[in-house]
Amino acid sequence: MYLFWHAIFAGILALLLYRLAKPNPAWPFLFTATFSGVFPDIDHLLSWSPDFLTKLFPRYLTEGLSFSLRTQVYPCYLHLWLWPLILIATAILKKGKPRKYILAAAAGWTLHLVLDGVILLL
Higher pLDDT, 91 or 67: 91
Q: Concatenate the DSSP letters of all residues of 8-70 into one string.
A: HHHHHHHHHHHHHSSS---THHHHHHHHHHHGGGGGGGGG--GGGGGGSS-SSTTTT-----B
Task: Check if the beta carbon of residue 115 is closer than 8 Å to that of residue 69.
Answer: no
| Residue 13 lies in domain | 2-57+70-116
**Residue 20 included in any domain:** yes
- Helices 28-38, 2-20: crossing angle, 10 deg rounding: 140
Number of domains in the chain: 1
Per cent of the chain over pLDDT 90 is 51
Over the stretch 25-73, which tens digit does the pLDDT of each residue have?
Answer: 888 999 999 999 999 999 887 888 888 888 888 988 888 888 888 888 8
**Residue 96 included in any domain:** yes
**Residue 122 included in any domain:** no
**Residue 64 included in any domain:** no
**Residue 121 included in any domain:** no
Global pTM reads 0.89
Total residue count of the chain as it appears in this document: 122
**Residue 51 included in any domain:** yes
**Residue 62 included in any domain:** no
Dihedral of the alpha carbons of 102, 117, 3, 14, in degrees to the nearest 10: -40
